[in-house]
Structure 1
Amino acid sequence: RRRIVGATVNHAFWDPHNTESATVRYDIARQCLEDSITALESDTCDCVIFDATNATRNRRRSLRDTLLTRFQCEVMYIESVLNEPDMIASSINDMKLNSADYAERTLEETAEDYRSRIEHYQSVYETMETEHESDLVFLKVVDVGRQIFANQVYGYLQSRIMFLMANLNLKPRPIWLSRHGESMFNTQKRIGGDAPLSPLGQQYAMQLDRFIDAYYPMPTTELAVWTSTMLRTHMTVERIAARGRTVVKWK
């Protein structure tokens, strides 16, 4: 869109009564859909995220039907709804900081224009409801996870996406990445398997526990540790878990 119409358009571009811009937006969406289908038809792409408003039921159904006709694939909609004023204000602030649309505008100008853009969407938006779209696969996420509604969600991949959406958080926080301690297979230069830690790996697990306790002393700080289900990762964090920390195993 920015390549075609530039990054300095104001809220009037999203006005549903602006027939000229509506035609341009439709053409852009159609081209993006064609690009998505082309990617899916290649040997290098298994999943496409079609980032568009898809504000009406007719638009969503047309999109689904086109994909099923042109390319047999599963279609899953994710609807994000913000009702909390603080979250909306935070979203506007993020637009000012990160969007090229508002790079040359003040925060006040950004807020005024973006709220007008929201009003344009609200005037035509039809939320996803099972009463009208029970045959579509969709997730509705309200206020970044405060509520989540799922419809026709089946299978491993769709369930994983739902789990991801349920664990979204907009608050900034540090993320530490760590390898597991050395395993017995590592000492033998073997890859894979489910071997326990070597003595050196157990020393690493002890040092990791001390490091975390120094940076995040209990009970004054919150900390969640995510690991795989492998024995070597379990042994790496078992001292951390023994302190009462939250440990989540990701399969």
Structure 2
Amino acid sequence: VIILVGLPGRGKTFLCNKIKCYLNWLGHHTRHFNVGSYRRLQKGDHEVQNADFFDAHNSAGIEARNRALYAALDHLKAYLYSEIGQVAIFDATNTTVERRKLLIKHFHGRFQYLFIESICTDEKVLEQNYRFKMQYSPDYRGMDMQQSLSDFKERIHKYEEVYEPINDRNLHYIKLIDMVTGRGHMDLNRISGYLPGKIVFFLMQNPPPFPSLSPSPFPAHLGESEYNLKHRIGGNSPLSPAGEVYARCLPEMLLDRLPLDDQTCVPVSVWTSTLCRTIQTARYLPFPKLRWKALDEIQAGACDGLTYEEIEQRFPEEFAARQKDKLRYRYPAGESYLDVIQRLEPVIIEMEREKECIVVVGHQAVLRAVLGYFMAK
């Protein structure tokens, strides 16, 4: 169980979604439990949930928030006890020692648990994040910006009155302290094991815990190759004549779609594999280019250069196995989609870090894996 800690407006839910997306993409079934969503579900039409609702002395508010807490906990535990449950993310403020002890009581001896505390002290960054949050928060739907900001800041003040940062060195925790400013740091305590290590690696490479307006990668399928004409898989064949026409048309198509006319436009770079058909497809694009071995097409191993009809004839059992489970099927002496995902991890990390717009000229299996990550976000 990953337990978030922090004042409102510190990017906890955004952080949860990024971690959930990353772990699911790696194949670890992960689900996000947001206590605020449970609170809103149980809210009656007559019930006002302004800043006073979150006052530590508001008994009715405390009772309602506790109902939401236990509803989320019940669903979280049911999920982890199910056949598919592997990782659960418990998303709430959890700002007091008492609340964290309650959660530990529920999880200790049943599940491993890790706290992640998000701290930001930069007022400029916080103000920017508050305004971003007000645009999308269901709590403030239909309210004007100034009214929403005023109430939200008052809510934060209510939490600040009782906030107790994590200081217990017996707990397993990660603290993200002013990471979004580029001058912050992480405080790690009692972190060990595969998944906690992966989470630390991901957070170190992707420090900003607040929503980013950086553009997502722009996928562009490579042009038709000579092997495509012969219905053969793999290989390193050049583009066909039709593929060459596609490559020449690609710049015009991309220039119409990329955010190049915006006053806040960002630089563009083109990433390709090391295979000639992607390099040839990208050669007319007027942007800097970077070749990645990790972006090469799925390796077909013993089936490289064959058509699917030839594979069915020579390797009928392999052909049938692939039809049953394309995600996990591995070509003889080749790769599976899961293998492709593993080797794409450093590329995905770099894409998350980049502030420029990235055009990925890629192969079908690779683009599927890349889109699987970014569409889940």
* TM tier, smaller: 0.7 to 0.9
CA separation of 1:209/1:168 partners in 2, compared to 1, >3 Å: closer, same or farther? farther
Q: Which residue of 2 aligns with 1:29?
A: 69
Matches for 1:1-251 after TM superposition, within 5 Å: 1-6=39-44, 8-69=48-109, 72-129=110-167, 133-145=168-180, 146-166=184-204, 167-169=206-208, 170-176=211-217, 178=219, 189=233, 197-200=236-239, 201-208=275-282, 211=285, 213-214=286-287, 229=294, 248-249=346-347
**Deviation at 1:9?**
1.5
The answer to whether the 8 A contact 1:56-1:126 is kept is yes
Code of the residue aligned with 1:80 in structure 2: it is S
Q: 1:18 & 1:105 partners in 2: Cα distance? A: 23
Q: 1:23 & 1:89 partners in 2: Cα distance? A: 30
User: 3-state DSSP class of the match of 2:187?
Assistant: strand
Deviations 1:172-230, CA, capped at 9 Å, x for gaps: 111215489799x99754xxxxx87444541213433653x52xx59xxxxxx896857
Code of the residue aligned with 1:81 in structure 2: it is I
Q: 2:283 & 2:101 partners in 1: Cα distance? A: 51
CA separation of 1:228/1:32 partners in 2, compared to 1, >3 Å: closer, same or farther? farther
The answer to whether the 8 A contact 2:238-2:280 is kept is no
Q: 1:27 & 1:226 partners in 2: Cα distance? A: 53
**Deviation at 1:165?**
2.2
CA separation of 1:108/1:12 partners in 2, compared to 1, >3 Å: closer, same or farther? same
**Deviation at 1:171?**
3.2
Q: 1:230 & 1:155 partners in 2: Cα distance? A: 29
- State the Cα RMSD in Å: 3.2
CA separation of 1:179/1:136 partners in 2, compared to 1, >3 Å: closer, same or farther? farther
TM-score by length of 1: 0.74
**Deviation at 1:14?**
0.7
Q: Which residue of 2 aligns with 1:239?
A: none
Code of the residue aligned with 1:31 in structure 2: it is A
Q: 2:127 & 2:232 partners in 1: Cα distance? A: 55
Q: Which residue of 2 aligns with 1:245?
A: none
Which segments of 5 or more consecutive residues in structure 2 lack a partner in the other structure? 1-38, 240-274, 299-345, 350-377
The answer to whether the 8 A contact 2:236-2:277 is kept is no
Q: 1:35 & 1:17 partners in 2: Cα distance? A: 28
The answer to whether the 8 A contact 1:227-1:250 is kept is no
Q: 1:249 & 1:162 partners in 2: Cα distance? A: 17
Count of aligned residue pairs for this structure pair? 218
User: 3-state DSSP class of the match of 2:186?
Assistant: strand
TM-score by length of 2: 0.51
Q: 1:13 & 1:26 partners in 2: Cα distance? A: 12
The answer to whether the 8 A contact 1:14-1:21 is kept is yes
Q: 1:113 & 1:203 partners in 2: Cα distance? A: 56
Q: 1:180 & 1:228 partners in 2: Cα distance? A: 17
User: 3-state DSSP class of the match of 2:106?
Assistant: helix
Q: 1:114 & 1:102 partners in 2: Cα distance? A: 9
Deviations 1:86-109, CA, capped at 9 Å, x for gaps: 221122112221011111211111
Which segments of 5 or more consecutive residues in structure 1 lack a partner in the other structure? 190-194, 219-224, 234-247
